[in-house]
Amino acid sequence: MLTATTLEQTREEMHEKLRGIVPEVEIDYKAEIAYEINRLKKEKNAVILGHNYMEPALFHSVPDYVGDSLGLSRIAAKADADIIIFCGVEFMAETAKILNPTKTVLLPAAKAGCSLAASITAEDVRNLKARFPGVPVVTYVNTYADVKAETDICCTSGNAAAVINSLDTDNVIFLPDEYLARNVAEQTGKNIIVPTTNGVNVNFDTSGDFNMVGWHGKCEVHDKFSVEDIQNIRLQFPDVAVVSHPECSPEVVHASDFAGSTREMIDYVKNVDAERYLLLTECSMGDNIAASVPEKDMLRLCSVRCPHMNQITMEETLDALRYNQYEIHIDEDIRVKAAKAVERMIAIG
Ligand code: 13P
Ligand code: SF4
């Protein structure tokens, strides 16, 4: 967050922070928007939460808090401003509303989806519960409120193993990310089955031993990274530390030096010494870390931008404040049920 109180100071601070990361002319233009956002934010008693995937000029200028899904959920739950502006995607803004329903929660884009959240419906979860009765359902927070409402407990990539270990049963349904489920199954010693689908029917092979049931959702960003990418990079830079997100395939995670949530990835770069680092995740995060810790050598070779996170711009954030758009509304019955699953997760710590 900036300390600037004038437009000139805003410009200076943003140049200082973003030099070499964002073109100078873009910084000048965005400094004017940042100044206006920060002015209006105070006037309207709003708080801005920014996910680690926000583009660098936005990330380093207007959020009061930045972080991963788990960290931002915790902050959203306790926020006492009148308006929460969530610079992230829709399921994140929904989680803020679930946890803090009396506040006005705004998403600065008419639509900012997520391929994981889109991969499963509440009806799919009801069908799974009918198929595997009595088995607790753990749902990744990258889902919509009606899906959360059907589940026992939520998790993020930062606490998925802890959430599973907190259940007093061996069997678990883990939705909807196939790769996160496979990675967590390995961590928790579970045998997982994942359905195949032709887009209409979903088929499980239940002939072998299993105690975890997954789903076929994928993150369209993390699905793009391959072991071959890592091998090629290591040939060029043998001393690189490869840091991946657990939404990457297990093969990619195995070939990496570390895997963790976006906050854990940032902590790794800050705390573990390496000659250079490659992040296998949404590419804005590499730029954001490069601006925060300029002494670290980040290989900024990634070009995979999440098209949904990319909907959240500084212009849209300013419009969100000016016109109170786009407000998140959740049916109260669904919200109350979803809140149980999210609050149960938060209580785990
Ligand atoms: P984090 O919970 O690690 O911030 O990740 C959210 C996300 O959408 C990753 O693609
Ligand atoms: Fe969803 Fe992937 Fe984008 Fe994260 S990066 S919001 S999981 S599509």
What is the CATH number assigned to the segment(s) 117-218? 3.40.50.10800
Q: Compute, in angstroms, the gap from residue 264 CA to the centroid of ligand 1.
A: 11
Residue nearest to atom 1 of ligand 2 (CA): 114
pLDDT at 243: 97
- Mean pLDDT, to the nearest integer, of 1-23? 95
pLDDT at 156: 95
User: Is the CB of residue 157 below 6 angstroms from any atom belonging to ligand 1?
Assistant: yes
Q: From the alpha carbon of 117, which atom of ligand 2 is closest?
A: 1
Residue nearest to atom 6 of ligand 2 (CA): 114
Residue nearest to atom 2 of ligand 2 (CA): 219
Ligand nearest to the CA of 266: 1
Beta strands in the chain (DSSP E): 46-51, 65-67, 83-87, 104-106, 137-140, 153-155, 172-175, 192-193, 196-197, 202-203, 212-213, 240-244, 258-259, 276-280
Q: Compute, in angstroms, the gap from residue 157 CA to the centroid of ligand 1.
A: 7
Ligand nearest to the CA of 159: 1
pLDDT at 56: 96
> What mean pLDDT, rounded, does the chain reach?
96
Residue recorded with tokens 């938060």: 346
CATH class of the domain defined by 7-114+309-323: alpha beta
**What percent of the chain has a predicted confidence (pLDDT) above 90?**
95
pLDDT at 303: 76
Tokens linked to 25: 């002319």
Q: From the alpha carbon of 281, which atom of ligand 1 is closest?
A: 10
Q: Compute, in angstroms, the gap from residue 218 CA to the centroid of ligand 2.
A: 9
pLDDT tens across 35-73, in order?
A: 999 999 999 999 999 999 999 999 999 999 999 998 998
Residue nearest to atom 8 of ligand 2 (CA): 114
- pTM equals 0.96
pLDDT at 242: 97
- CATH 3.40.50.10800 correct for 222-292: yes
pLDDT tens across 290-303, in order?
A: 999 999 999 977 77
Of 245, 263, 280, the one to substitute when testing ligand 1's pocket (max ligand atoms within 8 A of C-beta) is 245
pLDDT at 154: 98
pLDDT at 70: 85
pLDDT tens across 313-340, in order?
A: 999 999 999 999 999 999 999 999 999 9
pLDDT tens across 73-125, in order?
A: 899 999 999 999 999 999 999 999 999 999 999 999 999 999 999 999 999 99
pLDDT at 168: 86
Q: Tally Cβ neighbours within 10 Å of residue 175.
A: 27
Give the separation between CA 179 and CA 280, rounded to whole angstroms: 14
Of 221, 311, 312, the one to substitute when testing ligand 2's pocket (max ligand atoms within 8 A of C-beta) is 221
Q: Compute, in angstroms, the gap from residue 12 CA to the centroid of ligand 2.
A: 32
Tokens linked to 74: 């915790």
Q: Compute, in angstroms, the gap from residue 222 CA to the centroid of ligand 2.
A: 8
Q: Where in the chain is the domain with CATH 3.40.50.10800?
A: 7-114+309-323, 117-218, 222-292
pLDDT at 200 > cutoff 90: no
Q: Mention every residue, 6+ apart, whose C-beta is less than 8 A from residue 275.
A: 237, 239, 240, 297
Q: From the alpha carbon of 247, which atom of ligand 2 is closest?
A: 7
